Every structure is written in structure tokens, then in C-alpha cells.
A and B are shown apart, each in its own frame.
Chain A
């Protein structure tokens, strides 16, 4: 750009990279170079200089790679994927999947024994987001209904457990199905009147619903404890409590029963195990659903609602089933969240949560189960690993989203349609 035709291409590349770095510095300097110290501003240009350096190196690398054959090949491989993100699965399926899946399952089961308490809690949170991602994936990815208030069902589940134990003495295991049912009921209640709407309108209604639930929890102080929240009891295994001493008369703490010393991470270990099994069951369930008439109808509805109606599919009930199924999953996630935190309050259920769950689904590739799992793990574990950059977490998150949308607009994982083996049909 800057150099003339006679310039050595390497020099031209250097010039252009320098120019990019200069622009970066100019843009970044006023934003993060001037720091408020007390009542005065102070110039601290380390961050902009680093940013400019990073841009310089990357730009130079790209320009130099463009100048030779192998470099271009690398760039092509890294360039945005073109065309639709959908292919038909191979006839035989993935041959090594039969060995990988049990290995992954066993790895998931033994993993917590190698983690410290801190990382165990991080992994539990990641698993909760996997569950939420799978739930929202049903609504957004499969049925194509943009739901911006998914966190409402998460909140319903969490509060069902916390309030249920406070008012009616419900335990973890009773709360689990009850919360799933209640969340599904809320999903149905919201869904039935609004599911005749399309796209943007539905998104706004669900957004409003999410906020309504949060505001009710926040302001109905006499019932929900308002912003002070409610405490949730520890989970139990056959009436064995995971606490130092039994909270409920007649129960024995887990460690006393087995005669092992008390360890506070036992509770997390237990939650992880149950959660892991629930997530596995959910993955199996969603994968089955995609092959079942119900899942097919959801996807058909996403593709073309009018065509669906012309074939006798009741679009309202089909949407409702997707909505309720998603809400149910969210509710189950909520119970685990309450049990894991031991305490819930409305500030855990803000719009940002909904946005994060939606980001997981979009990033993973709408409708792809594997993609959603990877995205959920990345988006929850990465911020923990990047604690040192806590100030820039949201910035990195934003950059990641933009880059992903340019690089792989259809999400991380390509969607495979099922292949049917039929007589006479060649593929």
C-alpha cells in the first residue's frame, strides 16, 4: 500500500505493518493509555505499546506469509470457511467413535480425583453451562426460536430447590424432578401465548420474561428473600449429608458413615458425579431426539414454518415442546447451581447469563451437540485460566466472538445430517 512498485516486497510489508501498529497505538492510547489516579490523569502507555506490538507482529507475519507458496497454503487453511455448514454424515458413521466415547466417559468419571477443590468447582460450573447450552441448543439451535431470557428457567430451577427446601423441606433428589417440571411449566406458560410470534418479536418477549422473573425474585422479599437470597441445602446421598454435621435430625454425615475424615470437596465431588451423569444422559437424549419425529419436526420448523404447516404439523405445539424441553434442562441446571453454591440470589440470573448461554450455542454451531459442549467448556474454563487478565475478560470475549463470526460463521462444528441406509438408494 505504502511502498512503490520498485520497493522490495519485504520492505513494503514492514512499512505496512508499521503503519498498522501506529494506527493501533493511536486508537488504543487514549482508551487505555490514560489512567485515572486519584484526581489526576496519568499517562501509562504500556498496554497500547503491547497492543501495537502484537498488531505489528501479526500483520507482518500475514504479509510475509502471503509472499511465498507454503505461506499462502497456510493462510488458505486458516481463512474463513465458505459455503453452508451442513453436510450429510458418512454412511458408516465415525468408525473410531465406539472406542472414543467410553474412554471419554471414563476420563470424565475419574477426572475430579485429580483436581484440587478450586478446579473442581470450575469444572462443575463448566458442566452446568454445558447443560444450559444443551437446553438452549434445543430452543435456538434445533427449533430456531431466539430465546434471550433463557436464564429465567435456570432461576426457576435454582429457586425451586432453595425455596422448596426452606418452605417444604424438599431435598436435592426431590427437587431435581420437581424443578424440571416447574421450569417446563413456566416454559409452557410463557410459550403458549407467544409462540405464534416470529424471530425478533419472540426474542423481545423472552427477554422481557427473563427480566420479569429476576425482578419478581428481587422484589418479592417476603417469599424469596429479595436481594439477600436464600440458602440452599447440601445434596444428600441416601440421606447421607455432605456437611460436617447433619443439618436434619436423624441424618448422618457422609464422612462419618464411611469413617473417613471430613473434606469439604466431598460435596463437590458428589455434585460433579451426579452432574456428569445427567449431562451424559442429556447428550444421549438430544442425540436421540435429532433422529426422532419430534426433533425432525423442530428442525423442519426452523427451516420453513409454512411448509411444516402445509404438512399437518401443528407449529404451536411443536414449538411449545421445544420450549418446554429447553426450559426443563435449564431448570435442572438451576438445581445443580443452587446445590453447588449453597446459596442463590437474583444477581446470578442477569441478562448477561442469558447472553453467555446464547454465545455458547452460537459459537458451538447452532444445533451441533459437540460444538455446544466444546464452546461451553471453553467459555467457562478460559476466563478462569485467564484470571490474570480479569480486566480484559469481556474484551477478549468480544474479540473471540467477532473472530469466530468472521472465521466460522456457522459455528465451530459442522452439522452432519443423519445418513439413512436404504435399499436402492445410492449416495
Chain B
């Protein structure tokens, strides 16, 4: 059974159809990539999957070891006529309308990073990772103010998890620096560590190699493999660096003009004439012009 199922996803911004009936699946434990020319709708798919956009149509389902989450429903949908005759559906929808939102998607186990890094720049590196563990901590105010043993244990554990991830992304020495002070490449790695601190089952990386030099890109591809192999997390990434995509991904989905034009393993994609046409343009098209 696949981990993420996107079914006939459509997204409309006013008159523009940004996504048109997009369907794809992500297998658990895989590294999948979403590629396509600029403006193809990759980031829109990401924003729908991670709950930042409400899809106009379609279904997104997450199945993490038998735990099923409807990623569209948890955002809070519009009321339908039928709801007014069905108290349970009404209550459900009201609940998600009032208390739903993209944080529910994250709680279900989808973590993400951003194309333009979004760290808490004026907080320290460790604090960034502690915020990410918010939902796993002892948040009782009274425990915190009185500094009870239970609270201290929970904080200590969070610090250990944070340090564990900092070691993995090789940022241990920077633990007590401000996140905004770090060099660009370190900020990228910190953002990945931060999203891993939410203990996700699926991590969505939005152009993780953007702005990195070749050596850093090499380290990144090793890091992504480590995440999958040792930490059992499924990776879905958007990337323009074809070398990186072809090297690490097992499944590639190609988008163009909001539609899936091809899907498969790197070998098939590389040879697919439609993909080549989308990226390079075809001779016929040039001939017409």
C-alpha cells in the first residue's frame, strides 16, 4: 500500500488552472522526485500535500502504517447541503473548520522544508529544533513554571533529540548560535534537521540543493539517503538539479502545465520523449514557429 496517494488533484487560482487532475503515489520507504520546468506546478502540489493550499478538487490520503489521514478534510472544508441533515458529518466539518489547518497535516506526519529557507532566524539553532518538537513535549504550564521532574525529563529528552539530529547534519558545534547567522549551506541542513525533529513519516524537500555548491550537493544526497536508509522516512523532493534527481530518486513524476506527463523510474524518464519535449522543446514545435 502506498504511503501517499494523490488523486485527481486540481487547484484553481481565479481563472488559472494551476493543477489539472494530478494523480501520483509515493511508496513507503522510497525517494521520489517531482520534476518539471519552471511554473509547471511542482510547488503547488507540495503546498497542497502539506496543507498550505486547499485543493479545489481531488483527494490526498496518507497511510502511515495503517493510520489513515485524509489530508484535505483536516484543513476544514466548506459545508455542504447534506451536512445539515447529518449531524455527525456536520460536527466533523465544524470541528475541522474551527481547529483544522495545515498543522494537522504536519501532525499526521508530513514534514516539509521551504524553497526560500524559513528558519526562526533570531532564535538559536537548538531552539529551532526544540520548537519542532513542540507537540511531543510536556506543555503543561504548571509543570513548566514549577520546573517539575516530569517537565525537566521531557525537556532533556528534546535536547537530546535535537543534538542527535544536529550531529547527523553535522551542525553540532553551531548548537548555540543564532540560526540567522549560519552560512547558507548550514541553514539548508538545519531546516532538514528541524523538519526531521517533528518525527515525520514523509518529508517533502522543496529544492533542497538550490544555492548549494557541488560539494555541498554531494553531501546533501548522502544525507537524503541516510534519512531514508537509517531513519526510515519517505522522501519526496522537488529539484532542478537533474544530476541529483537521477542519482538518488527511485520514482520520478514529471509535471508540465499542471499535468502529469510522465512517471516512472529514472531510466524510463530519461528516455521519455514527452519529458525531453517539455524540457527542451521539440523540433516540430520549432518548425511551426
Q: What is the chain A residue whose CB lies nearest that of B107?
A: A312
Interface residues of A in 291-322 (CB under 8 A from B): 291-294, 296-297, 299-300, 303-304, 306-317
- Kindly state the separation between the CA atoms of A78 and B31 in the bound complex, as whole angstroms: 56
A38 within 8 A of B: no
A288 within 8 A of B: yes
Contact flag A422-B194 (CB < 8 Å), given A300-B131, A309-B102, A310-B50: no
A423 within 8 A of B: yes
Min distance, Cβ A198 to any Cβ of chain B, angstroms: 15
Quick check: A424 and B167 within 8 Å, CB to CB? yes
Give the residues in chain A near B145, CB-CB below 8 Å.
284-285, 288-289, 292
Quick check: B178 and A86 within 8 Å, CB to CB? yes
B168 within 8 A of A: no
- Kindly state the separation between the CA atoms of A299 and B121 in the bound complex, as whole angstroms: 11
Quick check: B120 and A303 within 8 Å, CB to CB? yes
Quick check: A425 and B175 within 8 Å, CB to CB? yes
Quick check: A306 and B173 within 8 Å, CB to CB? no
Quick check: A315 and B118 within 8 Å, CB to CB? no
A387 within 8 A of B: no
Q: What is the chain B residue whose CB lies nearest that of A318?
A: B134
Quick check: A420 and B176 within 8 Å, CB to CB? yes
Count contacts between A and B, CB distance < 8 Å: 145
Give the residues in chain B near A316, CB-CB below 8 Å.
99, 101
Q: Which of B51, B101, B112, B166 contacts A315 (CB 8 A)?
A: B101
Contact flag A418-B124 (CB < 8 Å), given A294-B139, A315-B103: yes
Contact flag A310-B120 (CB < 8 Å), given A297-B131, A425-B172: no
Min distance, Cβ B172 to any Cβ of chain A, angstroms: 5
A77 within 8 A of B: no
Give the residues in chain A near B137, CB-CB below 8 Å.
293
Q: What is the chain B residue whose CB lies nearest that of A85?
A: B122
B-contact 0/1 string along A251-285, CB 8 Å cutoff:
00000000000000000000000000000000011
B135 within 8 A of A: yes
Quick check: A288 and B147 within 8 Å, CB to CB? yes
Quick check: B101 and A312 within 8 Å, CB to CB? no
Q: Which of A289, A299, A317, A425 contacts B173 (CB 8 A)?
A: A425
Quick check: A310 and B102 within 8 Å, CB to CB? yes
- Kindly state the separation between the CA atoms of A322 and B101 in the bound complex, as whole angstroms: 19
- Kindly state the separation between the CA atoms of A289 and B107 in the bound complex, as whole angstroms: 24
- Kindly state the separation between the CA atoms of A309 and B147 in the bound complex, as whole angstroms: 27
- Kindly state the separation between the CA atoms of A160 and B103 in the bound complex, as whole angstroms: 37
- Kindly state the separation between the CA atoms of A285 and B145 in the bound complex, as whole angstroms: 7
B10 within 8 A of A: no
Quick check: A307 and B173 within 8 Å, CB to CB? no
Quick check: A427 and B176 within 8 Å, CB to CB? yes
Contact flag A293-B134 (CB < 8 Å), given A300-B123, A307-B119, A311-B194: yes
Contact flag A304-B101 (CB < 8 Å), given A294-B144, A312-B135, A423-B163: no
Q: Besides the contacts A88-B178, A284-B145, A309-B101, what 12 more A-B pairs have beta carbons closer than 8 Å?
A: A84-B180, A86-B178, A296-B131, A296-B134, A297-B131, A299-B123, A300-B131, A311-B134, A417-B178, A420-B126, A423-B163, A426-B173
Residues of B within 8 A of A (CB): 50-52, 99, 101-104, 106-107, 111-112, 114, 118-124, 126-128, 130-132, 134-135, 137-139, 141, 144-145, 147, 159, 163, 166-167, 172-173, 175-178, 180, 194-195, 198
Residues of A within 8 A of B (CB): 84, 86-88, 91, 284-285, 288-289, 291-294, 296-297, 299-300, 303-304, 306-317, 415, 417-420, 422-427
5 nearest A-B pairs in the assembled complex, by CB-CB distance: A312-B106, A425-B175, A292-B144, A303-B120, A427-B176
Give 6 A-B contacts (CB < 8 Å), ordered by A residue: A294-B144, A312-B134, A313-B106, A424-B167, A425-B126, A425-B176
